[in-house]
A and B are shown apart, each in its own frame.
Chain A
Amino acid sequence: MIHQNILLLLLPSHHIAFGAQAKVSPFSPCQANHRLVAFFPHRLRSSLSRPIALASFDSEILQEGLNRVLPAGSVLPKKYSTSAKEITVREALNSALDEEMSADPKVFLMGEEVGEYQGAYKISKGLLEKYGPERVLDTPITEAGFAGIGVGAAYYGLRPIVEFMTFNFSMQAIDHIINSAAKSNYMSAGQISVPIVFRGPNGAAAGVGAQHSQCFGAWYAHVPGLKVLTPYSSEDARGLLKAAIRDPDPVVFLENELLYGESFPVSAEALDSSFCLPIGKAKIEREGKDVTITAFSKMVGYALQAADVLSTEGISAEVINLRSIRPLDRATINASVRKTNRLITVEEGFPQHGVGAEICMSVVEESFEYLDAPVERIAGADVPMPYAANLERMAVPQVDDIVRAAKRACYRAVPLAAAA
């Protein structure tokens, strides 16, 4: 698979790169009077039988390589590398905010500590300096007030991004999110649209206790008129935040504090400023054939780890990163269950009336005959979040829990734990 590792230097005249020699048009790579310099990482040299030279370059490899670097319709990327570039979720969110604020002067950011403090979690770092205090606004600690002001600004036609320091505090403003934002387009029969994004960290962090650890995915996804997004990786964070800011409807964007510092590889396409992910489409993070595991946000990472463990035991798990819990990608989930016949839903939040319950019902409605085992549900414990580390560990799903549930669904005998 040489084409994945080839660094192709396709050079618009104003770009300078390693050892470049001439201009090459990306769409006519093999014109004889152009020269292409291909730069191979040292680790691949051994696999090459001959150095790549000028017009004798194999056009098929080049074309495949081009397809990877330049997906159809995208702008020529400015930077790309052999090993995929890695950025943290924090950097991804910051760059998404920056690009969207740059692209549309109606976009502005407001919340506690987003400006001079550079963001409580540094997500809005540098934005105050770049865009000024009229577009990056530090608010007092008054969620009901500033969320309402944000919604009112959206009524008038601006595109606010309202940050909650955590979504636990959004409960103070929930009337505005639901009654003032979500329902307005419907009640006004389309006169008042609300292009607002409510974003911030959601769910458990580490040791922050009961009032600071709740997952609000199920609550907001319950409401028609809202869109609820739950990014996992850096690519998700960038693509979904950009989509949310461009979206004409109110979007609740649930991030996760513990993911902010995690790095993920991002493709060149994802780094482009026009990059956007579709809202309402889940991503199959890992293909499998024995059991489907759905997850969102931080739990995607846990599900992937569980899939690794399961593969050592001969169970091939398909991991679906929901990305969007409203609209929920029922098509992808059902298609996967029809393939694997078994389903585990994973979420961090409280189990009763949760996201997993909705997914289970969707599968029962649409793919009942395909199920070979009851749907399993892994969720946070049905208790307020405790502080002590051992109890906290029990209150949040662990990789073991997901593995065990998958095995149950595959009818691999697992001794039942004695009731606590």
Chain B
Amino acid sequence: MAASAVVRRLSSAPLRDHRLLRPFSSTGSESTITVETSVPFTGHKINPPSRSVETTPVELLSFFRDMSLMRRMEIAADSLYKSKLIRGFCHLYDGQESIAIGLEAAITKKDAIITAYRDHCICLGRGGTLVESFAELMGRRAGCSKGKGGSMHFYKKESGFFGGHGIVGAQVPLGCGLAFAQKYLKEGTVSFALYGDGAANQGQLFEALNISALWDLPAILVCENNHYGMGTAEWRSSKSPAYYKRGDYVPGLKVDGMDVLAVKQASKFAKEYALKNGPIILEMDTYRYHGHSMSDPGSTYRTRDEISGVRQERDPIERIRKLLLSHEIATVSDLKDIEKEVRREVEEAIAQAKENLMPDPSELFTNVYVKGFGVESFGADRKEVKAILP
């Protein structure tokens, strides 16, 4: 991807407000670096792309910053949940940031993404702001869904993010529907439907995949295999945990999901494939450090050694840090500064979100319909609380 394009995205997206602290002379920002992915891709009924990925220093720095921002956001959400400012469900994505970022690096905002409930970072990647995210988590009116959705229902339709869904597996047919519409309208774009290893066994996924293959829809199914469906390890839930092969007649690719460059390469490859040939499955081998949700400690079904092992060997942010240091794109203190800046940004956003008000009581009755025809709606005691739906 051209460095200039990356720089343009860097400056326009609210997520990326980075300014280099000092110019670096060793590598100009225009120069391309070729990096090998951690492992080669494995294909099912398809020739996998090369494991050599082109990138630039600017892009690598943006990866580092953006993933650090996502990491910090999720950790902050953990504390907010524990201090009871976030209620209900809260499913955290830390460990999986490379999927959100790698995907964004390969596509445009005209492409569509839909995912399940582990959606905070995907929304951020699609252009959601920190304030919008924290406000939504805390149920405030500045939230991306005006406080009416909550953690599992973030949306950003104008930049191609269609949610945020609470029902495991439902997002896959919906994603294939988005692809259907893109094909119907001849837009030349694709849809990514993200789901987990737990959802991979859902019948409706295969129903939608069958139709997508029959009708050659530009749908890309991305299995974020973090190896645990809530508390059930993949070997206990799936007879065949080779999710990239489950499409049978639909080709698949197995990707190291914790290598952001591998994700980028695979996503780019998948987009080109889907536009010409129809659906393809990407299995991202990834890991979540938190439990399934905030009510799950995440340590009853896996060992702490496993978790810390992955953190040491495969952490996506650390991988990029090593790359940046080894290619002398930034120094240790540069990167520490970025992290400090990111932390500050997150804290500011939380402060702003905390001050934001809860939705007005009248919002209980808004958006039930687009067109309500003046129909009545009722509160718990309908003689007390009634509203007209506009």
Binding site for B on A (CB under 8 A): 108, 134, 137, 139-140, 142, 144-158, 175-176, 179-180, 184-193, 195, 224-225, 227, 247-249, 278-280, 327, 330, 365
Contact = CB atoms under 8 A, between A and B. Distances in A.
Given A152-B176, A155-B174, A156-B112, A224 B368 contact: yes
B184 interface: yes
B157 interface: yes
A145 B208 contact: yes
Contact of A189 (B145, B369, B373): B145
Given A149-B211, A152-B114, A179 B148 contact: no
Nearest to B179: A152
B140 interface: no
Interface residues of B, number: 53
23 contacts: A108-B184, A140-B211, A144-B204, A148-B177, A149-B211, A153-B181, A153-B184, A155-B157, A156-B178, A158-B180, A176-B173, A180-B174, A185-B370, A186-B148, A187-B148, A187-B149, A187-B164, A188-B367, A191-B155, A192-B163, A227-B369, A248-B370, A327-B373
Contacts of B214: 140
B8 interface: no
Contacts of A144: 173, 203-204, 207
A158 B167 CA distance: 23
Interface stretch (B68-76, B313-321, B375-383): B375-383
B195 interface: no
A155 B184 CA distance: 13
Nearest to A137: B215
Interface in B157-183: 157, 162-167, 170, 172-182
Contacts of B204: 142, 144-145, 148
Nearest to A225: B368
Contact of A156 (B147, B164, B182, B376): B182
A138 to B, nearest CB: 10
B258 to A, nearest CB: 29
Nearest to A328: B375
Interface in B344-381: 363, 366-371, 373, 375-377
Contact of B367 (A134, A147, A189): A189
Interface string B4-40: 0000000000000000000000000000000000000
Contact of A190 (B182, B211, B366, B375): B366
A209 B149 CA distance: 41
B170 A176 contact: yes
B195 to A, nearest CB: 12
A89 to B, nearest CB: 24
Contacts of A148: 170, 172-174, 176-177, 204, 207-208
B325 to A, nearest CB: 41
Contact of B181 (A145, A152, A190, A279): A152
Given A152-B176, A190-B370, A192-B163, 6 more contacts: A149-B180, A152-B179, A175-B167, A184-B163, A188-B153, A188-B157
A361 B114 CA distance: 41
A347 B380 CA distance: 27
Contacts of A175: 167, 170
A189 B173 contact: no
Contacts of B182: 156
B207 A280 contact: no
Contact of A179 (B157, B166, B377): B166
Contacts of A156: 112, 162, 177-178, 181-182, 185
Contact of B173 (A152, A187, A190): A152
Contacts, number: 163
Given A140-B210, A156-B112, A188 B155 contact: yes
Contacts of A249: 369-371
A330 B376 contact: yes
B167 A179 contact: yes
B371 A155 contact: no
Given A188-B155, A278-B373, A145 B210 contact: yes
Contacts of A191: 145, 155-157
Given A144-B204, A179-B167, A187-B148, A151 B174 contact: yes
A153 B177 contact: yes
Contacts of B114: 152
A149 B166 contact: no
B170 A179 contact: yes
Indicate the member of B167, B172, B177 with the most A CB atoms within 10 Å: B177
A360 to B, nearest CB: 15
A175 B170 CA distance: 8
Contacts of B155: 187-188, 191-192
B146 interface: yes
Closest 6 pairs (CB-CB, A-B):
A152-B177, A148-B173, A145-B207, A156-B181, A189-B146, A142-B207
A134 B184 contact: yes
Given A185-B368, A186-B148, A151 B177 contact: yes
Given A145-B173, A150-B177, A176-B170, A186 B208 contact: no
B389 to A, nearest CB: 8
Contacts of A225: 368-369
B149 A189 contact: yes
Nearest to B193: A152
B367 A185 contact: yes
Indicate the member of A146, A149, A153, A248 with the most B CB atoms within 10 Å: A149
Interface in B191-235: 203-204, 206-208, 210-211, 214-215
B367 A190 contact: yes
B367 A149 contact: no
A327 B387 CA distance: 14
Contacts of B162: 152, 155-156, 192
Given A144-B173, A227-B369, A330-B376, A187 B145 contact: yes
Nearest to A250: B369
A318 to B, nearest CB: 23
Nearest to A135: B184
A188 B207 contact: no
Contacts of B179: 152
Given A145-B208, A149-B180, A193 B370 contact: yes
Interface in B96-149: 112, 114, 145-149
Contacts of B112: 156
A61 B164 CA distance: 63
Indicate the member of B147, B153, B164 with the most A CB atoms within 10 Å: B153
Given A155-B177, A179-B166, A280 B375 contact: yes
A327 B389 CA distance: 11
B164 to A, nearest CB: 8
Nearest to A150: B177
